Structure 1
Amino acid sequence: MKTKEIIDDISILIAEDESELREYLKEYLELFFKNIFVARCGKTAYETYLDKKPDIILSDINMPNIDGLSMAKKIRESDSETNIIIMSAHSDREKLLRAVELGLITYLIKPINSQKLKEILLELTQKLRASKKRIYLSSDIYWDKISQTLWQNNQQIFLKEKELLLFKLFCSQTNKIFTAKEIFEHLYEKQNDKKFSEHSITSFIKRLRVKLPQNLIQNEYGAGYKILPFNR
């Protein structure tokens, strides 16, 4: 994978209480990744995870408040997908052996080999890009590409047939502005006798917005509508 361009679709949370190492990891990973979050303890790291939903968590095994393995276990209670890498000292090997059931991606022995870390993260980025099943539209709202459903806080937002068709269109090309005519043709492609009406599309989207979080569907004046993926 080329690394000349900053990776902006994969986010990483660094959880490390040792300030010097934490800052070094942040500065080093910012050479390759745009979205880096940091936490000084397990409690803050878990709160950041809930808020930012990072793709990858790079965590020290020993931290104040909540240690790395306890945080990983807490995450795994409801999330089997987020990739977790644990950093540890040689003396922590027994703890790591007991943590197999947590589904860790790997572990790194301190002092951290930056080249090895880079290789692991770039390989993981390739796998994530190939298998991403969700399009996040906000920190807690996502479109599941496999089931073609919309979710908020792990609760499905139920959509009617044409509302669902609209979201399929939006999520097929996020950031793209779809004109009212394009939306109309997508919704009524099997109804050849139905005449285009911009007003009907405006009314349809207005009704749909009532059941959705504010500003989820963006209106580009004079151009059309779109949704924006959330920069996690």
Structure 2
Amino acid sequence: MSEQIEGRNAVLEAFRSGKCVDKLFVLDRCQDGPVRTIIREARKKDTIINFVQKERLDQLSETGAHQGVIAQVAAYEYSTVEDILEKAMEKGEAPFIFLLDDIEDPHNLGAIIRTANLAGAHGVIIPKRHAVGLTSTVAKTSAGALNYTPVAKVSNLGQTIEELKKEGMWFVCADMGGELMYNLNLTGPMGVVIGNEGEGVSRLVKEKCDFVAAIPMKGDIDSLNASVAAGILAYEVVRQRMK
């Protein structure tokens, strides 16, 4: 599936044929009929719409013929949170889910999906805004894991955590200010929360977590790559579940 679609007819057709459009870029203050129709379709599908200047569209364009609209299409279909819980139930296992708080680098997202698959997680949840979606780079970096690991996209990560707590899940996030991860009880239905590459886990999401886990670090710099942190924390959960 193409990652980027340009031009009015092509973008409108993408929406009408049911393609999953992650983001729509529209020329700011463009008021003509076809563009208004595209915006209406995008709102129906709850697609994120970015109104931008012509320079930004020219910069994004791969064809040079965007006609004021560019759609970024997901390379894979998204699942739902319910699908992920159902997968755990089918396997007869306590849910084990990765939740990613604004991961922006497609290589990090792909690597985390790969780790989630190998660690036996039932799925990955990402936010709709301020984060990378399922691009072809993510698919490639996941080394095939995207075919087996459902990824759900939600409007509000904090709210999703609250809803999953009602299902009996517990949540641990990685943060330097937390307690040493080896001292925490991470067995049972568990969500592993990994933060943005620069800022870490946002305050609102961190406040909803039951545990804040610190990964021991002995070096001269103060943080790990997001996908590496996800792997280390996830495998502590795996180790404890295996006991």
Per the TM superposition, whether the score is higher than 0.5 is no
> Which TM-score applies when normalising by structure 1?
0.31
Q: Tell which structure's C-alpha radius of gyration is larger.
A: 1
**Taking CA–CA contacts closer than 8 Å with sequence separation of 6 or more, which of the two structures ends up with the larger relative contact order?**
2
> Which TM-score applies when normalising by structure 2?
0.30
